[in-house]
Chains A and B, each alone.
Chain A
Amino acid sequence: MVHQYKLNGYNIVLDTCSGSVHTVDDVAYDIIEAYKNSSEQEIISAVTAKYSDITENDVTECLEDIKYLEQAGKLFSEDKYENLAYEYKNNTNVIKALCLHVAHTCNLNCSYCFASQGKYQGDRALMSFEVGKQAFDFLIANSGTRRNLEVDFFGGEPLMNWDVVKQLVAYARSVEKEAGKNFRFTLTTNGMLIDDEIIEFLNKEMSNVVLSLDGRKEVHDKFRVDYAGKGSYEKIVPLFKRLVDSRNGKDYYMRGTFTHHNVDFTKDIFHMADLGFTELSMEPVVCSPDDPCALTQEDLPKVKEQYEILAKEMIKRKKEGRPFTFYHYMLDLKNGPCIYKRITGCGSGTEYMAVTPWGELFPCHQFVGDEKYSLGDIWNGVKNTEAQDKFRKCNAYARKECKDCWAKLYCSGGCAANAYHATGDINGIYEYGCELFKKRIECAVMMQVAESEEN
């Protein structure tokens, strides 16, 4: 499938099924656009009429180039992957990642929290070491030949159960070699409890830390407040800086959430960058459409424009020698994911699951608390195979609306939780999210094109 667009002065043509990216001049752009729907003679007439300095020979030459690329499988390449998506997931039955909910409680009281202040619509709870240990044993036992296993210590606020986190890391390290596994840990924190001992441990053991910061003080403190209503910005920013400064190149993300109240969220990203943080992620809020902080239809064009502003500013800052990365713009066109990764979805409910403090399994952290999607537990494994099968069938081809979408090999069918919350069906379409996703990919590819032109 071909997708072509103009952005930041570049004419970009994506051949999505081969992964090819082309930059073209205006003439080639028009010819490619017409190539499948018009005869050569019609194209020649239209193009020579539109461009006074273009001859019939020029158009013919360009048509030859397009034919060459088509034959080389780099333009108008066929989509032959649909069956692979179902076959791969049906034949693969391993779990490789767990989101461990070590604390269903939080020391902040953020009203926009999808996890209802860490409680996930339930009671406050902390995971015991015994439950966590069983989760690791369950993961190892169900991971087949996969070597790299990921565990995210999540909440609520995982630092509220710090001793158990440390014990679980020690346990995992004590068994990984013999099991032939390599654990990669992530911890997602609001920062309130960070101290030097925690920093040292996180920087030694966690291959990634996700640090929640929404950007400008007034934006951050609008939602991210303690139970007395006091904003957390002043407390956490110095702690995050200490943590990041001593991280020695290991991964981290400053991760923010933007809402209807800060549609100009690039100001928050630039604020993070100006604070000295360089690995940045900023996500649209996940909430009910009637929530006052929900993004609106009127916000949509503004948000799209923000993504363009972000991409242009990142190009500028890179040239100035002060680059930063944005999670969704980190495209690696030469060493990106294989086709199986691109078509099989995010893996929720099959290779990725969330574990509650009491050992219950859910397809992912966003389904925790929704009993329909309780899959089973870490002692007895998945028992709700009906629900799991629905997730097994989630892939880039599962939704009819995706059939003609150019972006499906970039999003792999989208987030099942977002689809469920928007439509009541994990195979539904969260159109708003699709619009934003497509814009982000267009910007990300444009940045790659800009870099290649620069070189």
Chain B
Amino acid sequence: MSRIKTIETKNITETVKNGGCGECQTSCQSACKTSCGVANQKCENTKK
């Protein structure tokens, strides 16, 4: 593709099947304490 470059990203749609283990950090617990943001959280699923 000459005009479009796609950056490698996690396919969110795929995680419908194997996501949801809940082992990740609670969103605002350990840094901001005043805003909900989930995009910067790490995935901690060890069985994916």
Contacts and interface: CB of A to CB of B under 8 A. Distances in A.
A342 B43 CA distance: 11
Interface in A332-347: 332-342, 345-347
Contact of A73 (B1, B13, B15, B30): B13
Contact of A65 (B1, B24, B43, B45): B1
B35 A283 contact: yes
Contacts of B22: 92, 94, 96, 146, 340, 351
Given A337-B43, A342-B38, A283 B32 contact: yes
A338 B12 contact: yes
Contact of A415 (B3, B15, B29, B34): B34
Contacts of B32: 255, 281, 283, 327-328
Given A283-B32, A341-B41, A412-B38, A22 B10 contact: no
A94 B1 CA distance: 46
Interface in A1-60: 13, 17-25, 27-28
A210 interface: yes
A97 B27 CA distance: 10
Interface in A353-372: 364-366
Interface stretch (A162-170, A224-232, A441-449): A441-449
Which of B1, B25, B27, B30 gathers the greatest number of chain A CB atoms within 10 Å? B30
A288 interface: no
Contact of A339 (B2, B16, B25, B42): B16
A332, A336, A341, A441: residue with the most chain B Cβ atoms closer than 10 Å: A341
B10 A331 contact: no
Given A19-B12, A69-B4, A347-B26, A327 B44 contact: no
Contacts, number: 206
Given A17-B12, A21-B6, A147 B39 contact: no
Given A335-B10, A338-B43, A415-B35, A24 B15 contact: no
17 contacts: A62-B2, A96-B22, A147-B23, A286-B34, A331-B39, A333-B8, A335-B43, A336-B10, A336-B39, A336-B40, A338-B20, A345-B36, A346-B26, A352-B26, A352-B29, A414-B36, A415-B35
A437 B38 contact: no
A365 B30 CA distance: 12
A13 B45 CA distance: 28
Interface of A: 13, 17-25, 27-28, 61-62, 65-66, 69, 73-74, 77, 80-81, 84, 88, 92, 94, 96-97, 99, 114, 146-148, 150, 152, 184, 186, 188, 208, 210, 251, 253, 255, 281, 283-284, 286, 327-342, 345-347, 351-352, 364-366, 409-418, 433, 437, 440-441, 444, 448-449, 452
Interface of B: 1-13, 15-16, 18-20, 22-45
Contacts of A329: 40
Contact of B27 (A286, A346, A440, A444): A346
Given A208-B30, A414-B36, A22 B12 contact: no
Contact of A84 (B16, B18, B24, B28): B16
A336 B26 contact: no
Contacts of B30: 150, 152, 186, 208, 210, 251, 253
